Amino acid sequence: MTIDWGALILVAAVSVAAAAAVVALFATGVKLLSVPPVGAGAVGTPRDDETDDVSDDNRPLAATIGGTACFVLSALLVLFGVYLIIPAFHP
């Protein structure tokens, strides 16, 4: 039995790139959904649980749509990876 080193390196590189893409998309989604509303105050001001502006529903619409899109894309990438791994899904 011989090992096809080129194929092994290709699979490893694609796996690392796909994992990085999923993590980056998810982190971007979290960041976009934590954008405070317009006029919420200066960045760096101390916050506590009672006056947290991030939980306000007045987040910019573009940030909400972008964050949701990032979560959907990361979920689709994960589901596609599961589809590729499980042979019963593609007869």
Residue 72 is assigned to a structural domain of this protein: yes
At CA 1, angle to CA 91 and CA 14, rounded to 5? 55
Residue 48 is assigned to a structural domain of this protein: no
In which domain, by residue range, is 75 found? 21-34+56-91
What is the 8-class DSSP label of residue 55? Answer: G
Distance from C-alpha of 38 to C-alpha of 91, rounded to nearest angstrom: 51
Residue 42 is assigned to a structural domain of this protein: no
Sequential pLDDT tens for the chain (91 residues): 899 999 999 999 999 999 999 999 999 999 999 887 776 665 565 555 555 555 556 788 999 999 999 999 999 999 999 999 999 988 7
Contact 54, 30 (CB under 8 A): no
Residue 15 is assigned to a structural domain of this protein: no
Please give the tally of structural domains in the chain: 1
Distance from C-alpha of 91 to C-alpha of 86, rounded to nearest angstrom: 10
Contact 36, 59 (CB under 8 A): yes
| Biggest alpha carbon–alpha carbon distance for the chain | 65
Residue 67 is assigned to a structural domain of this protein: yes
